[in-house]
Amino acid sequence: MDRFVIQGPTRLEGQLAVGGAKNAVLPLMAAALLSRGESVIDNVPDLQDVRFFMTILEGLGARCQLEFNRLRIDTTDLDSHEAPYDLVRKMRASIYVLGPLLARRGEARVSLPGGCAFGPRPVDLHQKGMRALGAAVDEEHGYIVARAPGGLQGGRFRFDPVSVGATCNVLMAAVLARGESRLENCAIEPEVTQLVAALVRAGARIEGVGTRTLQVQGVDSLKPLDDAVIPDRIEAGTYLAAAAVAGGRVHLEGVRQDHMAPVVAVLRDLGCDISEQGDGLTCERRGKLQPVRVETQPYPGFPTDMQAQVMAAAALADGVSFITDTIYPDRFTHAAEMVRLGANIEVKNGTATIIGTERLQAAPVMASDLRASAALVLAATAAHGITEVRRVYHIDRGYQSIEERLAALGARITRQSE
Ligand code: EPU
């Protein structure tokens, strides 16, 4: 297992190009199952989660090739409808194959994803949504077994709460269902909207792109996808937050300003200077950080996937910050690790109270999930001394070569194999 060794404190200075969004490419990869032939997806980041999803698709009989950020998925020889436990337990997003398999093959067997490092993550809406489209859905021996032997039938479904994954999954099933479907209270995260737009380009008939109500007229078949993944707003936000935590100036190229607005607003509240130029975004922190009040919300609210990184900045702010995660009230495993770095954080009832400190100190810490790990790496760049961040495989799932990118900005970080 690899770990990062980080010597702090360092200021960060320089520029980076943002990669394609992990959470956008995964549903697109699943959507490739909806058609027969070769889908081509560009701007695909070479991440562990992407490689992993390729394994799932290959297990279903698809052929996948990722070269120079272009991913080809050939579904001509699809011959299975099962996503087994050993794969699904490693990546929850595997559940994305449920809708496409059910729609295309009339049957899907997908292992229940099970627990998660940051608390319960139910998949009931995915199942209820498939039922609303006429499928029989049962849980058998740890598997979701969904059947629609005569094909899916259009239906009406309301997501409550708003769910990125369930919106994508049920929509992918609905586009090939007979007749009309109405999906209400849909997620409008940019990653979801990218999927909706990609399906429309492939021949799906969907009205309401980018809104909370999607009206779908089922079609008999779709063309393979031909798309390019949107920039990763969370990767971008993480490197901007790095400038806030460590101090300095980080310029990013290739962002979507509209997608960055909720994160930019909080970075400004923290006291950072943010400037926008075309698809470039610069974050500069000169003076002290200011305390913030942050509440995570579905898009266009502040993303739960940036909560931990902002906490690393709040740990060094001049005052008391409050961070509430309304999406995942238990997503605070990073708080206890940050305390090991000298941060002053108390978590109660889904809210972290962070009393800012002047100085963080190095300590060995352990990564528990993707964003928590990234936040620990940021905190370590500001901490005095040598910090070891263990279990960095979590980070590799969603950040391409984070240590090389931070090193290019001046961080003193190396990867070591244990
Ligand atoms: N929920 C239900 N029932 C369901 C599904 C969700 O009650 O069937 C609840 C969840 O418990 C949560 C809320 O709905 O309280 C929202 O969860 P959502 O379904 O939107 O999350 P997800 O689709 O499982 C995606 C991202 C996560 C990100 C969340 C929230 C992917 C692959 N994952 O998860 O990303 O935190 O949306 O924005 O897109 C990450 O990248 O680090 C990550 C965890």
Give the model confidence (pLDDT) of 361-385 as tens digits.
999 999 889 999 999 999 999 999 9
**Mean pLDDT, all residues of the chain:** 96
Q: Is 165 in the pocket of ligand 1 (CB under 6 A)?
A: yes
The CA distance from 357 to 320, in Å, is 9
Q: Which residue's CA is minimally distant from atom 16 of ligand 1? A: 163
Model confidence at 100, pLDDT cuts 50, 70, 90, reads: very high
Helix 98-105 vs helix 164-174: crossing angle, to nearest 10: 10
**Residue 93 alpha carbon to ligand 1 centre in Å:** 9
Q: Which residue's CA is minimally distant from atom 37 of ligand 1? A: 164
Pairing verdict, β 320-325 and 293-296: parallel
pLDDT score of 400 more than 90? yes
Model confidence at 234, pLDDT cuts 50, 70, 90, reads: very high
pLDDT score recorded for residue 107:
97
**Residue 311 alpha carbon to ligand 1 centre in Å:** 20
Nearest alpha carbon to residue 241 among 379, 147, 410, 148? 379
Atom of ligand 1 nearest to the CA of 189: 38
**Residue 85 alpha carbon to ligand 1 centre in Å:** 19
pLDDT score recorded for residue 134:
98
Average pLDDT rounded to a whole number, residues 276-285: 97
CA distances from 291 to 67, 305, 329 (A): 44, 19, 21
Average pLDDT rounded to a whole number, residues 158-162: 98
**Residue 132 alpha carbon to ligand 1 centre in Å:** 20
pLDDT score recorded for residue 4:
97
3-state secondary structure of 392: coil
Question: Is the whole-model pTM more than 0.95?
Answer: yes
pLDDT score recorded for residue 286:
85
Entry field: residues in the chain: 418
**77-81, 176-180, 195-199, 281-285, range with the lowest pLDDT:** 77-81
Atom of ligand 1 nearest to the CA of 49: 32
Atom of ligand 1 nearest to the CA of 128: 8
In terms of pLDDT, which residue wins out, 92 or 251? 251
Average pLDDT rounded to a whole number, residues 336-348: 97
The CA distance from 60 to 41, in Å, is 19
Q: Is 23 in the pocket of ligand 1 (CB under 6 A)?
A: yes
Contacts of 289 (CB under 8 A, 6+ apart): 244, 270, 271, 272, 313, 314, 316, 317, 318, 356
Could you tell me if 164 and 129 are in contact, meaning their C-beta atoms sit under 8 angstroms apart? no
Q: Is 164 in the pocket of ligand 1 (CB under 6 A)?
A: yes
Q: Which residue's CA is minimally distant from atom 26 of ligand 1? A: 23
- Does the N-terminal peptide bond of residue 300 adopt cis geometry, omega within 30 degrees of 0? yes
CA distances from 372 to 100, 118, 330, 406 (A): 31, 10, 12, 17
Average pLDDT rounded to a whole number, residues 229-250: 98
Average pLDDT rounded to a whole number, residues 240-258: 98
**Residue 130 alpha carbon to ligand 1 centre in Å:** 17
- The best mutation among 121, 194, 334, 368 to test binding of ligand 1, ranked by most ligand atoms within 8 Å of the C-beta, falls on 121
pLDDT score of 72 more than 70? yes
Q: Is 88 in the pocket of ligand 1 (CB under 6 A)?
A: no
Tokens at 197, concatenated? 């737009």
pLDDT score of 36 more than 70? yes
Average pLDDT rounded to a whole number, residues 122-144: 96
Model confidence at 89, pLDDT cuts 50, 70, 90, reads: confident
Could you tell me if 153 and 131 are in contact, meaning their C-beta atoms sit under 8 angstroms apart? no
Average pLDDT rounded to a whole number, residues 168-181: 98
What percent of the chain has a predicted confidence (pLDDT) above 90?
93
pLDDT score recorded for residue 229:
98
The active-site residue, picked from 116, 168, 186, 272, is: 116
**Residue 114 alpha carbon to ligand 1 centre in Å:** 14
pLDDT score recorded for residue 115:
66
pLDDT score of 327 more than 70? yes
116 among known catalytic residues: yes
pLDDT score of 292 more than 80? yes
pLDDT score of 239 more than 90? yes
Q: Is 166 in the pocket of ligand 1 (CB under 6 A)?
A: yes
3-state secondary structure of 87: helix
